[in-house]
Amino acid sequence: MMYTLTVNTDNPQELADLLSALTGSPKVPVKSSAKVVATSSDATPGENAEISSPEPPKITKEMVRELTAEKVQAGKSAVVKDLLKKYNAKNAATVPEESFASFYNDLKAA
């Protein structure tokens, strides 16, 4: 059985404290440059499950369409049209998939 735990923190000590609380193990001070590793309950003895930062979420066509609609409803139609032109799209549904992330980020910043 595999468990996934996502924790967003810039402070490794907070992560170590959280893991200590979850596992009931004693708190251990962590240096800011330390690599935090947790032992999985399903791991074989001596095997560690590394905790890594999550990948950014993948921008989907639905996310692009929803944000575009929000911006239009907020009165930013001109900005939306300019961005669609920049990405050679007639509407949000025709933004090329490889441009979803950059279009979305540009639109979010507008």
Query: In the prediction, which pLDDT does 96 show?
Result: 94
Cut 0.75: pTM above it: no
pLDDT, tens digit (0-9, with 9 covering 90-100), for 57-84:
899 999 999 999 999 999 999 999 999 9
Q: Which long-range contacts (CB under 8 A, 24 or more apart) does 92-96 make?
A: 92/61, 92/64, 92/65, 92/68, 93/61, 93/65, 95/61, 95/64
Asked if residue 83 belongs to a domain, the reply is yes
Residues 66 and 105 in one domain: yes
Residues 65 and 46 in one domain: no
Q: How many structural domains compose the chain? A: 2
Asked if residue 23 belongs to a domain, the reply is yes
Asked if residue 1 belongs to a domain, the reply is no
Asked if residue 4 belongs to a domain, the reply is no
Residues 65 and 44 in one domain: no
Low-confidence ranges of the chain (pLDDT < 70): 1-5, 7-8, 25-53
Q: Which domain holds residue 19?
A: 12-50
Query: In the prediction, which pLDDT does 27 show?
Result: 64
Asked if residue 56 belongs to a domain, the reply is no
Residues 73 and 103 in one domain: yes
In DSSP terms, 4 is beta-bridged to: none
